[in-house]
Structure 1
Amino acid sequence: MKIDLHTHAKLSKASDFSPEYYEEMLREAKDSGLDALALTEHFNTRNFYEVYSELDRLFPYQGDYYEAYGLKIFPGMEVDILENGHILLIGSKWSILEVRRKLDGYTDKGAFIPFDQLMDIAEAYPLLKIGAHPFRDSTPLHHLSPRQLARLDAFDLNAKDMYQYGCDSNQEQVQRFASELGKPVTAGSDTHQCLQFGSIFNELDTPCESAVELKEAILQGKYKLHVSNDLEIKVKASVMLKKLMKRMVRLEQALSTGMSSS
């Protein structure tokens, strides 16, 4: 089973969820060869709960995942911590939504939940806990103590960081860091739109039907990482497209505001 463990459903945190946009992303994910993905949308994205209510409307939920266009979509979210860093949580829809409700008072910058408090909450649920992009300049994790980092299940080898910092050097840095902590490394594209799918993914030895099975496979090392030879061009094209799409959204908003005021 080929799965991307770090993906988003929206162009940006400030944008609304668009079913048409996400369906296009899913079709491209399937065309790129993926069998599954973890939807790790930002926990403080605009109208977070709407994302899952829309998924409920669009796709059947089979146990621990949505089924769409032949893809398994495992629920999740990306959580900011007070110490500066991002944590990916992946599990059943019910677990993700319950944990998210407990974070309602921690969504603003400067008031994010402390790492240990987040782990206290997350460890009460059957969740896969991944430290996202541990060496990203803006949101690293390597500054946390070994005791804290030991509470995570794995660390994210992130396509965006590989593009920005160099594929070989970033992969070596993340794998060495994880190895020193006795943790596995998982692959995530961190995509916000369709072109980045397939840039990096995990190939599990056997299909997984639940988040518990997914976590077990990762912890037992029953998977391989795959990095596309086209990673750099995929991410570069994605970055350029995202910038263009954001400009188009701002232009549409400006035109709409101008028309309504005239």
Structure 2
Amino acid sequence: MNIDFHVHSILSKKLEFDSELFLQGIEYAKESGLNAFVLCEHFNAVDLMSIYSYLRNNYKYQGDRYLVNGFSVFVGMEVDIKNGGHIIVCGNRDSILKIRERLEFHIKRSNFIAFEELLDIGEKYECLMIGSHPYRPKHKLYLQPLNLLARLDALDLNTKDIYKRGLEIVEEEVSNLSKILNIPYVTGSDTHYPIQLGTVRTCFEAECDTIKDLKECIRNKNFKIEVSKALKLKVYSAKITKNNIKKLKKNMKEDFKKE
């Protein structure tokens, strides 16, 4: 099973969920050789609950994932933590809703949840927890205490970081931290627009239907990592398209207000 552990379904956390774009993303992911992804919208995205409702109302839920036109969608959130860093929390759909409720008091930057508290919650619900882009300049997860980082299931080898700084540099940083913590690293495209899907993928030897399956395969390192040779072109194309669509939506809203 080929999976992407870091996927967003909307262009920006300030915009609404677009089911048509989501379904186009599913088809593009399939054509790009993916069989599954973790849908981990930002926990403070304005339309987060619409995504969960859309999936629940339209698709079969089997194991711990939705089956969307033959494609596996695991659900989660990308959570900001106090003192810097993002954590992907992926779990059973009911567990994710309960965790989101717990995070309602931690929406604003001034009150982001403490790393240790989030780890405690995630472990309580037996979630898969991944440290997002640990060396990104604006989200320096690697500066968090090592004993807390070691409680994560994996680190994130992230497409956007590879695009900006190069695969060799980024993978060396993530790999070194992985060795220090004695936890593996997996891949995340960090896409907000479908063209970026397939730039990286984690290829498991087995099919995974549950969070337990994912955690076990990661822990046992039963996978290999693949990085697309067309990564830079795909990321650039996704970035330009995303920005143009956001500008178009903004202009449409301004024109509507003038009428």
1:177 alignment partner, SS class:
helix
Q: Which residue of the partner structure matches residue 15 of structure 1?
A: 15
Q: Which residue of the partner structure matches residue 200 of structure 1?
A: 200
Deviation at 1:43, TM superposition (A): 0.5
Amino acid of the structure 1 residue aligned with 2:132: A
What do the CA deviations read for 1:36-85 (whole angstroms, capped 9, x no partner)? Answer: 00001110000322210011122211121111122100111100001111
1:1-262 maps to which residues of 2 (within 5 A)? 1-259=1-259
What do the CA deviations read for 1:116-145 (whole angstroms, capped 9, x no partner)? Answer: 111111110111110000000011211111
CA contact (8 A) 1:4 1:37 kept: yes
Amino acid of the structure 2 residue aligned with 1:16: E
Amino acid of the structure 1 residue aligned with 2:102: K
Deviation at 1:250, TM superposition (A): 0.6
**Structure 1: distance between partners of 2:180 and 2:151:** 14
CA contact (8 A) 1:30 1:69 kept: no
CA RMSD of aligned residues (A): 0.9
2:142 alignment partner, SS class:
coil
1:208 alignment partner, SS class:
coil
CA contact (8 A) 2:15 2:47 kept: no
CA contact (8 A) 1:153 1:183 kept: yes
**Structure 2: distance between partners of 1:108 and 1:225:** 35
Unaligned regions of 5+ residues in structure 2, if any? Answer: none
1:6 alignment partner, SS class:
strand
Amino acid of the structure 2 residue aligned with 1:165: R
Q: Which runs of 4+ in 1 moved over 4 A?
A: none
Amino acid of the structure 2 residue aligned with 1:12: S
2:203 alignment partner, SS class:
strand
Amino acid of the structure 2 residue aligned with 1:185: Y
Deviation at 1:219, TM superposition (A): 0.6
CA contact (8 A) 1:91 1:212 kept: no
Deviation at 1:239, TM superposition (A): 1.1
**Structure 2: distance between partners of 1:38 and 1:44:** 17
Amino acid of the structure 1 residue aligned with 2:30: K
Amino acid of the structure 2 residue aligned with 1:168: E
CA contact (8 A) 2:81 2:87 kept: yes
**Structure 1: distance between partners of 2:117 and 2:126:** 16
What do the CA deviations read for 1:92-136 (whole angstroms, capped 9, x no partner)? Answer: 111111111111110112111010111111110111110000000
Deviation at 1:177, TM superposition (A): 1.3
What do the CA deviations read for 1:212-252 (whole angstroms, capped 9, x no partner)? Answer: 10111001100111111111111111111111111111111
**Structure 2: distance between partners of 1:70 and 1:168:** 34
1:136 alignment partner, SS class:
coil
**Structure 2: distance between partners of 1:203 and 1:174:** 18
**Structure 1: distance between partners of 2:77 and 2:88:** 6
**Structure 1: distance between partners of 2:253 and 2:31:** 32
Amino acid of the structure 1 residue aligned with 2:174: V
**Structure 1: distance between partners of 2:198 and 2:21:** 18
**Structure 2: distance between partners of 1:134 and 1:45:** 21
% identical aligned pairs: 38
Deviation at 1:10, TM superposition (A): 0.6
Amino acid of the structure 1 residue aligned with 2:178: A
Amino acid of the structure 2 residue aligned with 1:231: L
**Structure 2: distance between partners of 1:120 and 1:126:** 10
